[in-house]
Amino acid sequence: MSGTGDGRRPTMDTAVLEFVRRRTETTRVEIARELGVTAATVTNSVKRLLTAGLLWESGHARSTGGKRATLLRVDDSARRALGCTIDEDRLSLVAVDTTGALQARVVLPLQDAKDPIEVTDRLQEGLAALVPGDELGAMTGIGFAMPDRLPGDVARALEELTVALDVRSVRGKESTCAALGSFWSGEQSGSGFSGTLHLGSTMSLALLLDGIPFRPDSGHPLDHLRIAPEGRLCHCGRRGCLHLEAAPSGIADLTRTALAAAQGDEAAQDAVMAAALPLTRVAANLAIALGLDTMVLAGSPTQAAPGIYLDAARQHFGDDATTRVVVSQVQPHPCAVGAAVLALQTFLTSVER
C-alpha cells in the first residue's frame, strides 16, 4: 500500500480545500484570515486547486464598496474515493465525493476475516457493485481502516490486489478513520479539539484538531487500561482491564446485545448499560484531562444502542459539561467513510507536489 496516512502535516492546498469544504462557499480573503497566511499564499494555492478542478468560482460576494470578491466552492464531482474497513463478521465499502459526502455503500458478510482469499474476494465483489470496471482507474484511490489485529497475510493480500487493479491505496488506524468519518459527516463542529473513542478490534482514542489528525500514529489501544483493581482477571495477568469491563464477551457479542436492547429487551438493556458505564467514565476522564471540546463514541455497539451510551455518558459528564458528547451514527461505518477521506487527502496532498 502506498502510505500509512499518519504523522504528516497537511499541505496548504489541503488546508485551503478543507476550509472551503467546511464553509461551503467563501472568498480568498476569508481563507487567508482564517488560516493566518498571506494573500499571495492563498492565491497560489487556489490557482493550483482551480487548475486541478477541485475548486470552482461560483460567483461574487456582496459588495462592500470596492471590487466584489470572488466566491469559491469545492467541486464535489471532481474526485471520488473509496474506503474499506474489515470487522470480524463483515466488510464495509463506501464511495465518497470530493466533499466526503457518501455516494454509495455496500456491506458484505465475512465468515472468516482472517482468511486472505475470502477478504479479497469480498472486496472485489464490493468494488464490482460500487464502481463499473472501466471507471475503477479514475478513482482517486482506496483507503483501508486497518484493524490492529489484522493478520499480516490479509494485509499483504489487500496490497497485492490494489496493485493488480492499479488503484492507489492508503491505510490508517481504525480510530483515526472513525474520527475523520465522524468529522467529515458533520457530527462534529468545524473547529476545536475532539477525541473519538472507538470500539473495534481494540478500544482506542484518536484526536483531531480542527478536523486534522493530531499525532494519529500515537493511538495506542486502551484495552488493558486498568479501571477496576478488583475486577476479573485478564490474560495480561492484571485485573479489571477496560476491555473486560466495557465489552466483557467481545465487541461482536456486545453489538448483538445492543441490537436486542434497542428492540426493547430489558435484560439486554441492563447488560449494555453495565458495559457503557465504565467506558463513558474513561471517556469523561480523558475529556477532562485533555480539555476536549467534543468526545465521540464510535463503534458498532454504540451505534446499535446510542441512547443507552448517551444516558451512561450523562452520569459521568453531567448535563452542563463543557465537552459535547456525540454517539457516531455514520452509515454504514464511520471507519469506512474516514478511510475514503484519507484516500482523498492523500491525493489532494499530492496536488501541489
| Any domain includes 168 | yes
Q: C-alpha cell of 40?
A: 499571495
- If asked whether residues 323 and 234 sit together in one domain, one would say yes
- If asked whether residues 299 and 344 sit together in one domain, one would say no
Query: In sequence order, which residues have a C-beta less than 8 Å from that of residue 233 and are 6 or more positions away?
Result: 239
pLDDT digits (tens, 9 = 90+) for 231-248: 899 999 999 999 999 999
The reported pLDDT for the residue numbered 135 is 80
- If asked whether residues 213 and 298 sit together in one domain, one would say yes
- If asked whether residues 310 and 344 sit together in one domain, one would say no
For residue 92, the surrounding DSSP H or E stretch is strand 90-97
Range of the domain at 298: 189-327
- If asked whether residues 215 and 229 sit together in one domain, one would say yes
- Following CA atoms 68, 73, 78, 81 in sequence, which dihedral angle do they give, to the nearest 10 degrees? 160
- If asked whether residues 30 and 53 sit together in one domain, one would say yes
Q: C-alpha cell of 240?
A: 479489571
- If asked whether residues 239 and 163 sit together in one domain, one would say no
The reported pLDDT for the residue numbered 65 is 66
- Please report, for residues 175, 198, 204, 275, the alpha-carbon distance to residue 219 in angstroms, rounded to integers and kept in the order given: 8, 11, 6, 22
- If asked whether residues 240 and 220 sit together in one domain, one would say yes
| Any domain includes 181 | no
CB 213 within 8 A of CB 311: no
| Any domain includes 156 | yes
Distance CA 278, CA 245 (A): 6
- Please report, for residues 56, 58, 61, 150, 179, the alpha-carbon distance to residue 24 in angstroms, rounded to integers and kept in the order given: 12, 11, 13, 37, 21
pLDDT digits (tens, 9 = 90+) for 248-270: 999 989 999 999 999 999 999 99
- If asked whether residues 310 and 254 sit together in one domain, one would say yes
For residue 18, the surrounding DSSP H or E stretch is helix 12-23
| Any domain includes 317 | yes
pTM for the model stands at 0.83
| Cβ count within 10 A of residue 54 | 24
C-alpha 77, offset from chain centre = 21
Residue-by-residue pLDDT tens, the chain, 353 positions: 444 443 334 478 878 887 888 788 899 999 999 888 999 999 999 998 888 888 888 888 777 766 788 899 888 777 889 999 998 889 999 999 888 888 899 999 999 999 999 999 999 999 999 988 778 877 889 999 988 888 999 999 999 999 999 899 999 999 999 999 999 888 987 778 999 999 999 999 999 988 888 775 556 789 999 999 888 999 999 999 999 999 999 998 999 999 999 999 999 999 999 999 999 999 999 999 999 999 999 999 999 999 999 999 999 998 767 899 999 999 888 999 999 999 988 876 554 44
CATH code at 234? 3.30.420.40
| Any domain includes 182 | no
Distance CA 181, CA 179 (A): 5
The reported pLDDT for the residue numbered 1 is 44
CB 204 within 8 A of CB 222: yes
Pairing status of strand 169-173 against strand 142-146: parallel
Number of structural domains found in the chain: 3
- If asked whether residues 265 and 212 sit together in one domain, one would say yes
| Any domain includes 7 | no
Question: Which DSSP category does 210 fall into?
Answer: T
- If asked whether residues 41 and 101 sit together in one domain, one would say no
Look at residues 268, 323, 342 and name the one whose alpha carbon lies nearest to residue 301.
Answer: 268
DSSP for 215-241, written as a single string:
SGGG--B-TT-B--TTSPBPTTS-B-B
